[in-house]
Structure 1
Amino acid sequence: MKIIYFVITVVVVAGALALVGQKKGDIPKKLVKDYNYVIGTQTVGSKYQFTDESMLVETARQIKDMGSNLLKFSMHPRYCTENYGLPENKEITSLTKLAQLEPSVKEVLNMDFKYYHIWVYGFSQYLPEPPGQKNDTTQIKFIGGYSDYYANALYEELYELTTYMLKEFNNSGKVFYLGNWEGDWHLRWDYDRTKPADEETLAGISKWFKIRQKAIDDAKRDTKYENVEIYHYIEVNLVQRAIELGDKVLTNSVLKDVNPDYVSYSTYDVTNPPKTEIELNKKLKNALDYIQSYLPPKDGLPEGKRVWIGEYGNPFISHGEELQNERAKWVIKAGLEWEAPFILFWEMYNNEIKKETGEQVGYWMIDDEGKKQKIWYTHNQFYKESQRFLEGYYKEHNEVPSNSTFGKAALKFKALK
């Protein structure tokens, strides 16, 4: 019996020592690399660059070098014009071929990013614009209603893309969110926010979103894959008109009917007008609550909020470097308090130039002379502090923190002071 007791004691002690050893162990590098640090940025339509690489690849590398594991960019027939100025390839006639045949697009998809937010617009829906011009009616075919012809073509194109990406990135650990740019401007394609929404176009855009969600869902159902995820999101932007005036916008007219996986909110209508942090904090959280209230419950998604901040920012030309950075911190802190899954600054390089003067408007983290702005350093420091927090938390708990726990800790980071 003494021998049995001795064996049991040795096993128990060994087990306890093993647990202690686990708790004092270093966090695996993969957990640090793959953790969702919430804040990030994007790259579309930059007006300058500094290397011989394509603008898309250069800016993606800048985002990676800053410390981010998230890339937001566009897959669109405009890949060869204003979005990235890449060489036109006549063989690229679909989103899948864009992913396969365009070297820069292929390269960034294979970069070491964990999270991808991608605006996807079908080649099957697009008519070329006159050189040097941009007209959104060439890409949106749901004005006044959405025909089955275009709906079926879009379904096939997005189904094919989703299937390809699930197979191509199988077991990669990557997470793709496929969505659209500011959808309320598609609903009001003349950019007149004061006009009432056209009912037939409302029905058309709702059908457009449903087709996008269904194509992704069906491809996931029909494809064998593991350790890769693809979700669909809708981006909205004119939320305040619904809250304050009762106007029909995507949030109160489409979201409940479509019930997308996620919603991105381009937040300029609540983040640029406020003069104080208190006012901005209140307006932003109120808008996020309003959007979330129109999302019915949905199975098969990770726990947590389903609305994120897809765009925010203030132009350097009117705010300067200090205020641009300070106001960004206001948004980041409000988003973390609300537990938004992502908070994305617009953007790495500036994409707007004043027509009258040729000046850079300054939606940037790195300016047109290559100078890193304070907002760049805020993000860079935030990532460094995040990793130190993860390392300490893992040593104590032998697991990574929940998004909620991380967000509460991040609010105390020096980067946000």
Structure 2
Amino acid sequence: MAGNYGFTQQNYLVEGAQKINQLGSHSIFLYLTPDFRTLYPDQSSQSWPASDPTDLAGLAQTAPFAGVFSADFNTIVLTAYSFANHDQVQGMASCENCQSAEENEFYTLTKYLYSKYAGSGRTFILKNWEGDWIALGGQEINLTSNISDSMVQDMIAWLVARQHGVSRARSEAGSSPGMQVLNAVEVNRVLDYAQQGLTRVINAVIPKVNADLVSYSSYDSTVGGSDAQTVQQALTLALQTIAKLAPDPLGFGTRRILISEFGLFENQELNDAAWRTKAVLDTASNAGIYGAFLWELFDNTCTQANGQPFPIDAGPGSPTRPTDGQCRGVWVVRPDGSTSAALDVLKQYW
């Protein structure tokens, strides 16, 4: 998503999905949002429709998404934002129309997925982006602050609406559709609560939403430490905290937890890729959770000499294409086409 380089003139979503399949993975993590044209540029393929869809179900039916959803993937995780509200969460608790629109859009999307992919064996997981950053107002904030009471209520209202939409459509699909659509609430600052007792999504929101799953963007526990034991201890604490506080409405046990992101900054932490990846995946496997996704295929954190980010999806030979050294190293495939040492570790768990 929004990587700073690519290798073809295909639609960026299609190119990335094909590469992930070629590498051997049968799971994929995508963004399904109104910003689809920016996150996944068309290049010269003209794959996106001339006019924008009006809702998530319509976006799911566009050629790039439909192609990926029909490809060789068993699990498809989607950070999804409605066309009705996008990421406007503040004030949600007092806006019944907003809640209704959110629920209906997730209902319509889920109903479409059950209708289109019945019998496919696929699992679709719909989720929000990092909930604690949303609730705290962004990443550049004072991490000793609590999420405000009003924002807690807004987050609950927003996330309950999404869950209700998914649950309603799933109930209508019946007990044997041969695939499933699940809803997850994403957290990303679990240790703020576990270690400091701060108000975070994990303790203030998760117990109230009754979501199918909890997804965990795990940078707070996986990027620190200089050895595998330290990483494993921090991640284990986070996973145990989630397991303690998350409802389990579908009886999934520890498989109701998914690590939606862990990332490696290879150009900042040299020689960490293999051991840190193994530490994360060993911990996830031992905990019995649903799985873990490495962020990401092509680095989206490459910056120019003036500090500005490189444009999205610069092709080979482009004067605005980054070199390997101009990226932080959040990648599986580098700009020069070589692959991260993390890939060999990942393949052991596929």
Taking structure 2 as the reference length, what is the TM-score of the superposition?
0.88
Do structure 1's residue 349 and structure 2's residue 298 form an aligned pair? Answer: yes
**Partner AA of 1:173 in structure 2:** G
Three-state SS of the structure 2 residue aligned to 1:291 is helix
CA distance in 2: counterparts of 1:97 and 1:47, whole angstroms: 27
1:105 to 65, 87, 91: 65
Q: 2:106 aligns with which of 158, 164, 182?
A: 158
Aligned residues: 324
Partner in structure 2 of residue 190 of structure 1? 138
Q: Which residue of 1 aligns with 2:171?
A: 221
* Aligned match for 1:337, one of 281, 286, 298: 286
Partner of 2:272: 323
Contact 2:92 2:99 in 1 (8 A): no
Query: CA shift at 1:144, angstroms?
Result: 7.1
Q: What residue number does 2:335 align with?
A: 368
The 5-angstrom pairing of residues 91-240 of structure 1 reads 91-100=52-61, 102-126=62-86, 139-143=87-91, 145-191=93-139, 192=141, 193-224=143-174, 226-240=177-191
Residue in structure 2 matched with residue 77 of structure 1 by the alignment: 34
**Matching residue's letter, 1:375:** A
CA displacement, residues 371-406 of structure 1 (integer Å, 9 cap, x when unaligned): 1121122223544xxxxxxxxxxxxxxxxxxxxxxx
Separation in 2, partners of 1:144, 1:98: 24
| SS across alignment from 2:31 | strand
SS of corresponding position for 2:6:
coil
Mapped to 1, the partners of 2:152 and 2:60 lie a distance apart of: 31
- Residue 365 of structure 1: how far off its partner (Å): 0.6
- Aligned partner of 1:51 in structure 2 is 8
Residues 231 and 276 in structure 2, CA contact (< 8 A), matched pair in contact too: no
The residue type equivalent to 1:378 in the other structure is V
2:197 aligned with 1:241: no
Contact 1:124 1:153 in 2 (8 A): yes
TM-score w.r.t. length of structure 1: 0.74
Matching residue's letter, 1:273: G
- Hey, what's the Cα distance between the residues in 2 that align with 1:144 and 1:210? 11
Higher fraction of helix = 1
- Structure 2 distance, partners of 1:381, 1:292, is 26
Find the aligned partners of 2:177 and 2:16 in 1 and give their Cα distance: 29
- Determine what percentage of the aligned residue pairs are the same residue: 25
CA contact (8 A) 1:140 1:186 kept: no
Q: Where in structure 1 are there 5+ consecutive unaligned residues?
A: 1-43, 127-138, 384-417
Q: Which protein shows a greater Rg? A: 1
Aligned Cα RMSD in Å? 1.8
Residue of structure 2 in register with 1:265 after alignment: 216
Q: Map Cα deviations across residues 156-202 of structure 1 (whole Å, 9 max, x no partner).
A: 11111111110000111111111111111110123313332121111
Alpha-carbon offset, residue 302 of structure 1: 4.2
Describe the SS at the equivalent of 2:269: helix
Unaligned runs of 5+ in 2: 43-47, 311-325
